[in-house]
Amino acid sequence: MVFNNYTNSNDGLMGISVAISGRIFSASERRFKTDKGERYWKLLYYTKGGEKFFLKDGIVSDAKEGSFIFFKPYEKQHRINESSVVAESYFICFNAPDDFDLLGFESGKVYNAPLVMKVCDSFEEIIKEIQLRNPHFEKICASKLFEILSNLKRTQEPLNFEMMQYGDKIASVITLMRRKDYFENTLEEYAEICKMSKFHFLRVFKEITGESPIEYRNKIRIERAKELLHDKNLSVKEVGIKLGYSSPSYFCDAFKKKTGISPKEYKKNIK
């Protein structure tokens, strides 16, 4: 588990303050269980793979890529990764008033939705703020938490018929984007996979994901780079090669543009 935290304070917004945030990498057969729960409100957001949750009233629910779940303070938690794939998720623990309504979300319930890169970006910004601890970072973290909640709320709004009709096709393209051999595909090739014209594909993709296909693909690539940089056996150059970058300088420039730091600095900061 990779995480960053700061001491609880009253410097959040409207009674909301972030306590801990980071990423969880759950290996196959890894189980997490606590009958007493945790002292904070908690949000888990899955970016790869998934886990099985054992919820109240005997309900068993599967979380997958794009799924999320909230827990109230001291609410029982029990989950397991039954897949052979490592499950990856962001988490955030936060303080909130007892009557906080989670924007209408229920705690202890798995919500399914497409993966939203804007949500991933907000998590990364929170983690970065906690690391840097610049003035007023607590308020920025709290505001980013509200941004996450709002974007997750959007995922639960009914899509119009056309978007629902194309959702599976766009999801299949996103799956392909995660494969190295599809990193350099053109927009025309992605559109052909969906049996759409280039401009129709562009419009539908952005309507569903909030990003252009190229922006979305670049973010996926950088997220994968971050994962690989945690591997002590891989150099920065080797990570760039694995991800199909044509040169180390191109990889460094692309990484720094998205994260604000070079891959070498990122690797050095890993605890």
Q: What is the pLDDT along the chain (271 residues), one digit of tens a residue?
A: 544 444 444 566 778 999 999 999 999 999 999 999 999 999 999 999 999 999 998 999 999 999 999 999 999 999 999 999 999 999 999 999 888 889 899 999 999 988 888 899 999 999 999 989 999 999 999 999 999 999 999 888 776 555 666 877 888 888 888 876 667 789 999 999 999 999 999 999 988 888 899 988 888 889 889 989 999 899 999 999 988 888 899 999 999 988 889 999 999 887 6
Sequence-ordered list of residues with C-beta below 8 angstroms from that of 120, at least 6 positions apart, any chain? 45, 47, 90, 219, 223
- Residues in a beta bridge with 30: none
Does CATH number 3.40.50.150 belong to domain 2-155?
Answer: no
**The model's pTM:** 0.66
What is the residue extent of each domain of the chain? 2-155, 161-269
Residue 42 sits at φ, ψ, to 5 deg, of -140, 140
Grouping H, G, I as helix, E, B as strand and the rest as coil, residue 216 is helix
Cβ-contact 167, 160 below 8 angstroms: no
**What confidence tens digit (pLDDT) does each residue in 53-112 have?**
999 989 999 999 999 999 999 999 999 999 999 999 999 999 998 888 898 999 999 999
Burial class (CB in 10 A: 0-12, 13-18, 19+), 174: buried
- Across 203-216, b (16+ Cβ under 10 Å) vs e yields ebbeebbbbebeeb
Please tell me what DSSP assigns to residue 24: E
Cβ count near 237 (within 10 Å): 15
Sequence-ordered list of residues with C-beta below 8 angstroms from that of 153, at least 6 positions apart, any chain? 103, 104, 105
Sequence-ordered list of residues with C-beta below 8 angstroms from that of 171, at least 6 positions apart, any chain? 114
Cβ-contact 112, 61 below 8 angstroms: no
Cβ count near 270 (within 10 Å): 11
Cα separation, 184 vs 27, in Å, equals 30
CATH of 161-269, one of 3.40.50.10790, 1.10.10.60, 1.10.10.10, 2.60.120.10: 1.10.10.60
Helices 213-229, 198-209: crossing angle, 10 deg rounding: 60
Q: How far is CA 181 from CA 12, 229, 236, in A?
A: 44, 20, 20
Query: pLDDT at position 174, please?
Result: 87
